[in-house]
Amino acid sequence: MKTTDELTFEPDFLRAIEYFREQEVYRPSPLREVPGPGGVTVWAKDETSRMGLGAFKALGGPYAVARLLMRSWKAETGEDIDAARLKDADLRAFASRQTFVCASAGNHGLGVAAGAQALGASARIFLAKTVPHSFDDRLAERGAEVVRAGETYDDSVAEAIADADRTGATLLADGTWPGYTDIPKLVMEGYTVIAEELRSRFEETGIWPSHVYLQAGVGGLAAAMAHMIRKNWAEQPEIIVVEPEAAPCLIESHKAGKPVRADGPDSNMGRLDCKEPSIVAWNTLEKCDVRFVTLTENEGEAAARAVTELGIATTPSGAAGYAALCRQIQEGVSGAGFRPLVIVSEGPA
C-alpha cells in the first residue's frame, strides 16, 4: 500500500549542497549560452563533465552512498558523522564490508560505482543488453563488478532486486516503487544541487528562464528539478518534461492519474528508455504544474547533432531537452521574453 509519506519528496537540499561543497572534485557545472534555432539564445546547463563522470548522475549515486554509510555507521555505533569522517580508516574498514547494487542504463551505475570506490565500498551493477558496451569498461575502471542481465532495463532492475535479496547487499536504485522509495529519494536529493546552482546564478543576474526543459527516464531528475524550481526560484518558468515516444511512462501516468507502465520499442535515447515511472517522481511532478512532450527518435538524433555542433558533445538522451525546445520553436512558442533553459545531461559514451 502506498502511503502519502512514501510518495512525498521533501529533500534536505541544504545538506546536499553543503556535502558537495566539501568535496574536492565538486565544481558547479557550466551554464553556457548557445545560439539556438530561429536566433533564440538558449541557456544550456552543461552536465557533460560533471565531476569526471560525464553526466549529472555524478550528483546522485555518490551522494546516496555517502549518506547511507553515515546512516548505517550511526545505526551500528550511535555516532553521528560528517562527510569528512568517511575518509578515516575505521570508516573505510566499515565501508569495505558493504556492497551497493543497482541496475542502470549506464550513468546511475557509474555514479554508484564511483561513490562506492571513493569510500572503500564495493558495487555490483546490472546492465541490460540494450546498454552500450562502453559502459562495461567505464564501470570496471571504477572498480565495479558488472553483470549483464536481461533484455531490457526493467529486466535488469528485477535482477538487481533479486541479487540484493539474495546477498544482503544494499539496493541503491534511482527508480521508486511501492515499498521502496527512501534510498532513491537520497539520489534525487543529490540532483537538487543542479537547481540550486542555477538559482544562485539567476539571482546574481536577475534574469531568469521563461521555459525549462527536463528530459526524463524514470523521472528522478525532472522531479527533483521541478520541485526545487517551484519551491525556491524567484521567477517561475514553464516546465516541460521530455520523454521519448518509445517510453512515455510519465505522460501516460499523468493522463491515467496514477503511475502506469508505458510499453514501446527500444529508444535511441537509451538513458530515457524507462517504461515504468518512479512513483515518487510521478507524484512530485503532479504537484509542480508541468507540461509533457514526447520525442520521435529522429528528433533525438537531430538534437544530439545540433548540440554537438554548438560545442557541447552529447547524445540523444543528453540533447532531449533541446529537441523539445526545437519542436516548440517550430510550433511558434518564442518571441519577446522567451529565455529557454535546457540541461545537456551527458557527454558521449
Ligand X SMILES: Cc1ncc(COP(=O)(O)O)c(C=O)c1O
- Of 50, 67, 108, 339, the one binding ligand X (CB under 6 A) is 108
Q: Does residue 109 bind ligand X (CB under 6 A)?
A: no
- Binding segment for ligand X (CB under 6 A), chosen from 19-27, 102-110, 131-139, 141-149, is 102-110
Which CB atom, from 31 or from 81, has the smaller least distance to ligand X?
Answer: 31
Q: Which is nearer to ligand X, 217 or 340 (CB)?
A: 217
Which listed range, 24-32, 35-43, 269-277, 329-337, lies at the site for ligand X (CB under 6 A)? 269-277
Shortest Cβ distance from residue 137 to ligand X (Å)? 17
Given 64, 221, 285, 325, the residue binding ligand X (CB under 6 A): 221
Among the listed residues 69, 83, 101, 105, the single contact to ligand X using CB under 6 A? 105
Q: Which of 317, 324, 334, 349 lies at the binding interface for ligand X (CB under 6 A)? A: 317
Three-class SS string for the chain? CCCHHHHCCCCCHHHHHHHHHCCCCCCCCCEEEEECHHHCEEEEEECCCHHHCCEHHHHCHHHHHHHHHHHHHHHHHCCCCCHHHHHCHHHHHHHCCCEEEEEECCHHHHHHHHHHHHHCCEEEEEECCCCCCHHHHHHHHCCCEEEECCCCHHHHHHHHHHHHHHHCCEECCCCCECCECHHHHHHHHHHHHHHHHHHHHHHHHCCCCCEEEEECCCCHHHHHHHHHHHHHCCCCCEEEEEEECCCCHHHHHHHHCCCCCCCCCCCCCHHHCCCCCCHHHHHHHHCCCEEEEEECHHHHHHHHHHHHHCCCCCCCCCCHHHHHHHHHHHCCCCCCCCCEEEEECECCC
Task: Give the binding range for ligand X (CB under 6 A) out of 31-39, 94-102, 270-278, 327-335.
Answer: 270-278
Q: Rounded to the nearest whole angstrom, what is the least distance from the CB of residue 218 to ligand X in the complex?
A: 4
Determine which residue in the list 115, 226, 345, 349 makes contact with ligand X, applying CB under 6 A: 345
Per-residue mark of binding to ligand X, 172-201 (x: CB under 6 A) = --x---------------------------
- Which residue's CB is nearer to ligand X, number 120 or number 220? 220
Report the site for ligand X in 156-175 (rule: CB under 6 A).
174
Q: Report if residue 62 touches ligand X, rule: CB under 6 A.
A: no
Q: Compute φ and ψ for 158, nearest 5 degrees.
A: -60, -40
Query: How many residues line the site for ligand X (CB under 6 A)?
Result: 21
Q: Is 275 in the site for ligand X (CB under 6 A)?
A: no
- Rule CB under 6 A: say whether 57 interacts with ligand X: yes
Chain contacts with ligand X (rule: CB under 6 A): 55, 57, 105, 107-108, 174, 215-222, 271-272, 274, 317-318, 345-346
